[in-house]
Amino acid sequence: MDAPREVWGDLATTAFVESSLLFRSLDPDALRDLVQLARAVDAAAGETVSAEGDDGFYLMMDGRAEVLAGGEALGQLERGACFGEGRVLGGARPAALVARTAVTAVAFPAPMVAAMAERFPRLRKLLEAARAAREKAAHGA
Q: Which domains does the chain possess? A: 5-133 (2.60.120.10)
Res 141: pLDDT: 47
Cβ atoms of residues 67 and 74 within 8 Å: yes
Q: What is the mean pLDDT of the chain?
A: 90
For 82-125, how does the pLDDT look when each residue is reduced to its tens digit (9 = 90+)?
999 989 998 777 889 999 999 999 999 999 999 999 999 999 99
For 120-140, how does the pLDDT look when each residue is reduced to its tens digit (9 = 90+)?
999 999 999 988 887 777 666
Give whole-number Cα distances, 86 to 33, 39, 82, 135, in Å. Answer: 21, 19, 11, 10
Specify the amino acid at residue 87: R
The SS3 call for residue 66 is strand
pLDDT over threshold 60, residue 23: yes
**CA 112 – CA 39 distance, rounded (Å):** 13
Q: What is the pTM of this model?
A: 0.91
